[in-house]
């Protein structure tokens, strides 16, 4: 394993009491630069987008992406054996990424996947409807139909995203059944349903018609049971492993559980005597090489090594996704910048400002503990630049 010690990887990090502490980085990561796709589990990384920091725009209002860097990151994820979940919340869908830019993102990603031999599934929702309003159920259906038709028109697989418009407009659980029954009866190939908890998006509170998760789960399972041939799986992002396991055990035969639990993914993916979860996770964007190595160990039957690799990444993930969880994208992009996958720490909508300097300093420590920096000297230099902008000399 290559090491990098001394002044180049030593820096001062801020503490919550306002003091600075000397910090010495550990050795560079020695993960392989590529891995085959896992054979025992399906693993999607929900990928972030790279903003164009030099666009002549108003960042809170306009969306401009660096397409070359954005596509390069997807090729990087595919090289590590991961699939890409495109145009999801990790890509700032609903937090700066508009539908018109999402269309171009989906179009380019499907083309890149076809060229690179990677796999991609793309989010389809209703976010082109104006927020802060209620709609008729037919209008929500029409919005879903528009986005689903776009993805399928490109030959893509749909991830059927939870709808803010539906959450705002539905008055009973039956309204959810009406919408999902209509859309699922029309899709041409199996989709992934996405149940995103309100910790990720407060506008989705009470999804499936109830704030009682057990009642909501019953409604969702009823819908899944009516459309088993049209559903590949369901991703639930509730950060509650017991709810996920309970639902996993009740899924109709042939429908996968894709964990969206960025707190407990290692044990949920391993599973138990009654089943397991596949994965569709935003944290895999930030820990992609470690994830590739962990899945390779798991495929080889080395479960101890699988957990050894994932354990420190879970600590990092719990920090990145801490409340307010919806701001986790900032940590994901910060990691990409620290590791040199993009030349700047700017985000669509100016979202780089949603986490504190102290939060990102702790992220740096935890990422180092998880052996996620392939070039510690370069990462330390970027961290010094970031801290200098905050007045840390």
- Residue 7: the pLDDT is 83
- Residue 342: the pLDDT is 98
When pLDDT is averaged across residues 163-192 and rounded to a whole number, the result is 98
Q: pLDDT grade, residue 393 (50/70/90)?
A: confident
Domain boundaries, the chain: 38-306
When pLDDT is averaged across residues 134-150 and rounded to a whole number, the result is 98
pLDDT tens by residue, 312-324: 999 999 999 999 9
Q: Flag whether pLDDT at 35 surpasses 90.
A: yes
Angle at the Cα of 192 (from 187 to 195), degrees rounded to 5?
120
Q: pLDDT grade, residue 2 (50/70/90)?
A: very low
pTM (2 decimals)?
A: 0.96
When pLDDT is averaged across residues 270-296 and rounded to a whole number, the result is 98
Q: Which pair of structure tokens corresponds to residue 311?
A: 């354990």
Residue of 2 and 227 predicted with greater confidence: 227
Q: Flag whether pLDDT at 5 surpasses 80.
A: no
- Residue 90: the pLDDT is 98
When the candidates are 3.40.50.920, 3.40.50.1000, 3.30.470.20, 3.20.20.70, the CATH number that belongs to 38-306 is 3.20.20.70
Average pLDDT of the chain to the nearest whole number = 96
Q: Which pair of structure tokens corresponds to residue 348?
A: 């669509």
pLDDT tens by residue, 97-128: 999 999 999 999 999 999 999 999 999 999 99
């Amino acid at each position: 394993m290559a090491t990098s010690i001394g002044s180049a990887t030593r820096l001062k990090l801020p503490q919550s009491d306002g003091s600075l502490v000397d910090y010495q980085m550990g050795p560079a990561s020695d993960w392989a630069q590529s891995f085959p796709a896992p054979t025992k589990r399906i693993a999607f990384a929900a990928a972030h987008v790279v903003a164009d920091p030099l666009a002549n725009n108003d960042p809170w209002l306009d969306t401009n992406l660096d397409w070359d860097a954005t596509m390069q990151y997807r090729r990087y994820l595919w090289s590590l054996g991961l699939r890409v979940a495109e145009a999801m919340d990790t890509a700032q869908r609903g937090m700066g990424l508009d539908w018109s830019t999402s269309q171009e993102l989906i179009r380019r990603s499907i083309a890149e996947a076809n060229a690179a031999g990677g796999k991609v599934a793309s989010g389809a929702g209703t976010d082109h409807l104006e927020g802060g309003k209620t709609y008729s159920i037919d209008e929500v259906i029409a919005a879903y139909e528009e986005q689903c038709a776009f993805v399928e028109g490109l030959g893509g697989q749909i991830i059927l995203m939870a709808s803010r418009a539906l959450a705002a407009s539905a008055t009973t659980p039956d309204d959810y059944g009406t919408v999902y029954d209509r859309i699922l009866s029309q899709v041409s190939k199996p989709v992934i349903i996405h149940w995103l908890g309100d910790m990720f998006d407060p506008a989705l509170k009470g999804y499936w018609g109830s704030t009682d998760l057990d009642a909501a789960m019953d409604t969702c399972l009823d819908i899944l049971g009516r459309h088993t041939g049209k559903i590949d799986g369901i991703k639930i992002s509730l950060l509650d492993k017991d709810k996920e396991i309970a639902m996993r055990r009740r899924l109709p035969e042939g429908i996968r559980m894709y964990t969206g639990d960025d707190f407990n993914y290692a044990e949920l993916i391993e599973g138990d005597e009654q089943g397991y979860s596949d994965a569709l996770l935003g944290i895999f964007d930030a820990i992609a090489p470690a994830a590739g190595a962990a899945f390779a160990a798991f495929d080889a039957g080395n479960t101890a090594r699988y957990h050894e690799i994932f354990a420190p990444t879970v600590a990092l993930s719990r920090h990145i996704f801490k409340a307010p969880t919806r701001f986790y994208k900032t940590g994901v992009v910060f990691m990409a910048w620290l590791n040199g996958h993009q030349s700047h720490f700017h985000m669509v909508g100016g979202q780089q400002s949603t986490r504190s300097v102290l939060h990102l300093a702790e992220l740096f420590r935890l990422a180092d503990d998880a052996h996620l920096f392939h070039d510690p000297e370069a990462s330390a230099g970027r961290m010094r630049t970031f801290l200098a902008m905050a007045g840390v000399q």
